[in-house]
Amino acid sequence: MSCDQGGVRTSTTVYIAAAIAVLALVLLAVFVVSKGGREKRLTPLAGLAFAFVLAGIIFGENRLIGYAFLGAGVLLALVDMFRQSKST
């Protein structure tokens, strides 16, 4: 892993920037798609899942904590999708 002048790993910085950019694109796509059809509000469980994914990106320096948050976020998102499909 390469380091820049400040000692911060550039690969980690690039990873975090790319992850934030992807999340921003996903949010943009969700808002654009929801404008065309009926409005779907974000459920509390989906909001919590999104918060866990963001926390996983923010705390990505410590791999154990970062991956734990990401895993919890993905698991909550899957539970939310399953609950939404059952209610429809």
Let me know whether 59 and 88 are in one domain. yes
Q: How far apart are CA 12 and CA 29, in angstroms?
A: 26
Q: Do 1 and 21 fall within a single domain?
A: yes
**Nearest in space to 46 (alpha carbons), one of 81, 86, 71:** 81
**47 and 33 part of one domain:** no
Task: Supply the range of the domain harboring residue 5.
Answer: 1-38
Q: Using one digit for the tens of pLDDT, what is the confidence trace for 8-43?
A: 567 777 777 777 777 777 777 666 665 656 666 788
Same-domain status, 31 and 49: no
Same domain, 21 and 51: no
Residue-averaged pLDDT of the chain: 78
Q: Which range has the top average pLDDT, 6-15, 55-64, 69-78?
A: 69-78
Examine the domain organization and report whether 31 and 51 are in the same domain: no
Residues 33 and 47 in one domain: no
Residues 29 and 58 in one domain: no
| Residue 63 pLDDT | 86
Using an 8 Å Cβ cutoff, are 34 and 42 in contact?
Answer: no
26 and 55 together in one domain: no
